[in-house]
Chains A and B, each alone.
Chain A
């Protein structure tokens, strides 16, 4: 675990995996994985995804939760390129109540902190859709620089849409503490959601 200001980063344990079965079929997921074809993700797909990320030497799947322990979403750094010390930063609020809240911004800052201050990366890439206001706002406030627009790059809901491309260099990062002091993060005060029920294997229809 790494403790942040409004959220903590934790290993992607079972409760996260249970939530992910819902999250992976919701809007926030697809906005964070904009190349995907919006195929429905079954339980099996979710398991496979987690397994792949666990084995991935160039990436990691990290959970983030509120100080109350309420799981909020996932951070993914991926495609780490050791020679140029860069990676792609992805984040999403699985629990949509937190969308646009400073908890998600803090999670992004924590991901940046982890990548620069622990993994010794030099640069992070990030992508957002032009109408994803919450994500654009978080990226800008975290200090990411808009580096251009891939014009009409992908298919999205009946149209071809742009992809907004961002980058952040280690030399532009003032450090986590300084960034938090500058931003004045505010907790959302949302109530933790009830814990998901533990699944009974035998009711799955497999037994």
Chain B
């Protein structure tokens, strides 16, 4: 388990997989896929899990590293992970999906991202982390700015969402640009954010 201030990163176990059906068919998937609307039955989601499990078995780990993200009191929120690890290039492509919209914009994602980057750079000795999002996704863009990623590529009109063309954006963070988790926790005031939550209604 990777322990953060607002969230922890844990194995993507049954508690998470059971929620996948709802998350796959929700607004969260629309945002994470850049405009796709899924219609996935329970059976289709189960088949997907089986396929992932088989892949991991066959390749001895698969081509990425996936975590479940949960609140400090253990409520599953979604997925954070390395979707694609290219060891020959020491390059990791990241992906994220918080399935519960009421948690968006609350700092949970940034706390999770810092944990994931820490893991990616310090444990896997990766040299560059990158990810792609669309130009409609203001939350991710803001998050990139907060954590110090650079916008590297803007693929014009490559995403279609509800009939409108958007761009896919590629963001990159080189290891020597990574400020380190401790520094960013301070800079972004995550302790204060966590403390405020602790004293809140929950």
Report which A residues bind B (CB closer than 8 A). Answer: 35, 37, 83-84, 86, 122-123, 125, 145, 147-155, 160, 165, 167, 169
Contact = CB atoms under 8 A, between A and B. Distances in A.
Nearest to A81: B158
A154 B127 CA distance: 10
A152 B153 contact: no
B156 A169 contact: yes
Given A35-B86, A148-B153, A153 B91 contact: yes
A127 B83 CA distance: 21
B181 interface: no
Contact of A151 (B150, B154, B159, B160): B150
10 contacts: A123-B155, A148-B151, A150-B153, A151-B128, A152-B127, A152-B174, A154-B86, A154-B91, A155-B89, A165-B170
B90 interface: yes
B51 interface: no
Interface residues of B, number: 23
B200 to A, nearest CB: 40
B155 A147 contact: yes
- A-side binding surface: helix, strand, loop or mixed? strand
B171 to A, nearest CB: 10
B170 A150 contact: yes
A167 B156 contact: yes
Contacts of A84: 158-160
Contacts of A123: 155-158
Given A148-B152, A150-B153, A160 B127 contact: yes
Contacts of A169: 156-157
Contact of A83 (B36, B86, B127, B155): B36
Contacts of A151: 128, 150, 152, 172, 174
Contacts of A125: 155, 158
B88 interface: yes
A125 B157 CA distance: 11
Contacts of B153: 147-150, 165
Contacts of B88: 37, 155
B31 interface: no
A125 B150 CA distance: 21
Contact of A152 (B128, B155, B156): B128
Nearest to B176: A152
B30 interface: no
A86 B158 contact: yes
Contact of A150 (B90, B152, B158): B152
A71 to B, nearest CB: 30
A165 to B, nearest CB: 5
Contacts of B89: 35, 153-155, 160
A125 B159 CA distance: 13
B156 A149 contact: no
B154 A147 contact: yes
B155 A150 contact: no
Given A35-B86, A37-B88, A148 B170 contact: yes
Contacts of B128: 151-153, 160
Contacts of B159: 84
Given A123-B155, A147-B156, A165-B155, 6 more contacts: A83-B160, A123-B156, A147-B154, A147-B155, A150-B172, A154-B86
